[in-house]
Amino acid sequence: MTRAFLGLGTNLGDREDNLRHALEALEAVGDVIAVSSLYETEPVGGPPQGLFLNLVVELDTSDSPERLLERCHELEEAAQRVRAIRFGPRTLDADVLWVDGEVRSSDVLELPHPRMWERRFVLSPLRELAPDLVSVELEARGGGEVRRIGTLGR
């Protein structure tokens, strides 16, 4: 089993419900170890759009990184995500952020996630679950405003 982290975010529709459904689907597989607090965050890049809700999920998994990416795509599809505008509004964004011991770069998957070190909406919830990966200083260098608003009521 391997420690892995997925980032989930949404800014369309019932944002909490979008995250709740994605988390329930991940929990159904049985490898969820921890879920960060819920963070409301400003969009980074892309067109003007509403605030996001973000969280990070820690898994203990036997899935390959490629299978984790497939699971992320399945979650997005279940949330009826439409990819019309790069970095545009979305019902669900699910990303493989980190898989212990994995460093790779291909057309479909880059690990660690290439932009996670620049984004506070990833760094803050990730630091909450994995302070061994994200120092206070690294978190402070991340761009964008974040506000912890509690936990995902389930």
Say if residues 137 and 123 touch (Cβ distance below 8 Å). Answer: no
Q: Identify the active-site residue in 93, 119, 120, 127.
A: 93
- Whether 100 sits among the annotated catalytic residues: the reply is no
Strands (E), 27-136: 32-35, 38-41, 52-61, 93-99, 104-105, 110-111
In sequence order, what E strands does 28-140 have? 32-35, 38-41, 52-61, 93-99, 104-105, 110-111
Q: Which of 81, 119, 120, 127 is catalytic?
A: 81
Answer for the pair 145, 42: CB distance below 8 angstroms, yes or no: yes
Contact 71, 109 (CB under 8 A): no
141 is catalytic: no
The active-site residue out of 15, 31, 71, 90 is 90
Query: In a 3-state reduction of DSSP, which class is residue 83?
Result: coil
Indicate if 93 belongs to the active site: yes
31 is catalytic: no
Q: Do 45 and 119 touch, CB atoms closer than 8 A?
A: no
- Catalytic residue selected from 31, 71, 95, 127: 95
The catalytic residues are 81, 90, 93, 95
